[in-house]
Amino acid sequence: MKQFEMPWYNLRSAVSSDDTALTTFDYDSWPAAGPISLGPDGGQERLGDAGRLLVAFFGENTADFTAAYKLFIRRKMNGPILLLAAGALTLGTQAVTKHPITKEADSGLWVDTITVTGGLAAAFSPTILDSANNRIALLRVPREGILDLYCEIDLDGGAGTQMTKLSAIVSGVMGLDGMGAA
């Protein structure tokens, strides 16, 4: 089966202070700023057709600096806000010379190591693509049933020295080969 790739979208942009304020997990407590909608009215409509989501991160500081992340989701219709994945991020040595979405000059580094230590994704073994190779690591998770996606950043929640800024981007793939494989 042919694989179809989708455009990248900003999930979080240049977060420079911790945003760990999501503490109530009922459907209506979804943050007003920051989440993206994967539904037909969300502007990222093509992601609604994805079989899997790919998330990449880039930040500012030097290689081996860390941060923590949490990916939250809302499913279609109602129910609680769910923690999809949580873990640590480590900057590698691959430079970001232009922001991948805006194409503006950037002086950051790509995250080359992603861990998943909690959330629903830990139960179904998410795939980390190209981790710890000083390139661009990707977190791949199933997209089925996700209406909204939110990434919470904890710059000092990593295991080592913290990043000064962190951004996240998201794309999708559909198909059963390549990065879309199970």
Contact 171, 46 (CB under 8 A): no
Which residue type is seen at 98? K
Least confident range from 52-56, 114-118, 142-146: namely 142-146
Least confident range from 49-53, 58-62, 150-154: namely 49-53
Distances (CA, A) of 66 to 5, 19, 47, 164: 29, 16, 28, 9
In this prediction, residues 45-69 reach a mean pLDDT of 87
Give the integer Cα–Cα distance in Å for 163 and 174.
32
Q: Residues 24-49: pLDDT tens digits?
A: 888 888 887 778 887 666 666 567 77
Continuous segment of H or E residues that includes residue 120: helix 120-123
Structure tokens at 181: 């494989």
> At 177, is the pLDDT very low, low, confident or very high (cuts 50, 70, 90)?
very low
In this prediction, residues 126-154 reach a mean pLDDT of 88
> At 132, is the pLDDT very low, low, confident or very high (cuts 50, 70, 90)?
confident
Contact 129, 137 (CB under 8 A): yes
In this prediction, residues 63-91 reach a mean pLDDT of 89
Q: What are phi and psi of 38, to 5 degrees?
A: -95, 0
pTM exceeds 0.85 = yes
Give the integer Cα–Cα distance in Å for 166 and 106.
12
Contact 15, 167 (CB under 8 A): yes
**pLDDT of res. 44:** 63
Of residues 162 and 10, more confidence is placed in 10
CA torsion through residues 102, 62, 88, 4, sign:
positive
Contact 140, 85 (CB under 8 A): no
